[in-house]
Amino acid sequence: MGPGPSDVSPRVLAALARPTIGHLDPLFVSLMDDIKLLLQYAFQTKNELTLPVSAPGSAGMEACFVNLLSPGDTAIVCQNGVFGGRMRENVERCGATAIMVEDEWGSPVDPEKVQKALRDHPQASVLAFVHAETSTGTRSDAATLCKLAKEHDALVIMDTVTSLGGIELKVDEWGADAVYSGSQKCLSCVPGISPVTFSPKAVERIQARTHKVQSWFLDMQLVMGYWGGSSKRAYHHTAPVNAMYALHETLVMLEEEGLENAIARHHRNHLALVAGLEAMGLSMAVDEAWRLPQLNLVCIPEGVDDAAVRTRLLRDFDLEIGAGLGALAGKTWRIGLMGHASRERNVILCLNALETALHAEGHNVESGAALRAAEDFYKSTSN
Ligand SMILES: *Cc1c(COP(=O)(O)O)cnc(C)c1O
């Protein structure tokens, strides 16, 4: 129950063990077609250029930046946590200029600051932001940020590594242009794959490039020859065939459950966890309106040893939770309820384990209060 990788379901693990076939085998090619359709569903998009990059989320991030930016370009980059900083690195390594819009870690990106940056830098061709900051458990208002970018003719690069499958994400309705995600957060697949999707406008920009993409592997014009379109597929790289079986199974499971139901499940388990934590006397670190249900930032009570509690959880309960990052290190925990791990039994296990570990560390909380609050919540919302 950390910030990912999340628990992988036995069904997905079993898919991994299917016999390896060729990356151009007709059966594999039809699996690729299926994956594309299922990813379009997950992203809520009709984008033709929708595919899984054969590498982790960071490669999906890099794919978006290197394909949309050329040397001399300007991008506005929002930072309210760890991953916005990586976006800046990507922009600068493309030879472009990053105009930073900074917000406190644990707060959402402020649309007014973005509006001002877009006005002050009319040459900016890209607005980049993180929809769900895993480092702080904070959501930003993606719909509003996309709208602002449109008004200023900038394309949107959006990080949805932690949002895909966990909270509402509407690529087409919002008008995001280059969107990347990861396999190991709310999709609960094995790590190492990065779903991406590019809007027709982004594809136009890519096709109009005069400067070669600096990365051969991530150059979408080349990758399209293997993953794109309905015409003949040509070898570009050897796809991680078994990992793609796993991704396919994950996406089939998402479709079976239904995107809306998966999102509602994340929300419900989050509310139960919060009810329990608050009954235990702990407080949440992010404003209610911007909390991520899949990644819960909890304040560590005064005088409690952060690492000692986490060590007890791991040693005595086989339970991993995440540490705080940056300025939030030592002050917060990050409790993940992502994908297959977002279940009632995990909420109960976590509350129980945390109560025991806090007692053992000499921090007194009312015995059983957390469990009662969570159970009451589940009872009051069951159908
Ligand atoms: C995990 C994560 C990434 C990086 O993904 P990797 O698979 O670790 O490369 C990028 N952005 C966000 C918001 C993440 O949570």
Q: Please count the other Cβ atoms lying within 10 Å of the Cβ belonging to residue 343.
A: 14
Q: Is residue 5 one of the residues assigned to a domain?
A: no
Out of 6, 83, 163, 188, give the residue to mutate to test ligand 1, the one with the largest number of ligand atoms within 8 Å of its CB. Answer: 83
Q: Last residue of some domain: 221, 256, 291?
A: 256
Q: Are strands 132-133 and 138-139 parallel, antiparallel or unpaired?
A: antiparallel
Atom 15 of ligand 1, nearest CA residue? 134
Asked whether residue 225 falls in the same domain as residue 272, the answer is no
Which position has the token pair 């400067």?
A: 211
Q: How many domains does the chain have?
A: 2
| CA of residue 161 to ligand 1 center, whole Å | 6
Which tokens sit at 35? 């994956």
Q: Which amino acid is it at 261?
A: N
User: What CATH number should be reported for the domain holding residue 318?
Assistant: 3.90.1150.10
Q: Does ligand 1 lie within 6 Å of residue 141's CB atom?
A: no
**Sign of the four-CA dihedral 349, 351, 356, 360:** positive
User: 200 and 307 share a domain?
Assistant: no
- Structural domain of 285: 259-381
Question: Consecutive sets of 10 residues in the chain, 383 residues long: mean pLDDT of each?
Answer: 96 98 94 96 97 98 98 98 97 98 97 98 98 97 98 98 98 98 98 98 96 96 82 87 98 98 98 98 97 98 96 97 94 98 98 97 94 97 78
At residue 229, the pLDDT reads: 63
Cα first-last separation, the chain:
26
How many angstroms does the Cα of residue 1 sit away from the middle of ligand 1?
16
Selection from 289, 295, 12, 376 nearest residue 132 by Cα:
295
pLDDT of residue 18: 97
20 CB-near residues (< 8 Å, 6+ apart): 241, 242
Nearest CA to ligand 1 atom 5: 57
> Is the CB of residue 249 below 6 angstroms from any atom belonging to ligand 1?
no
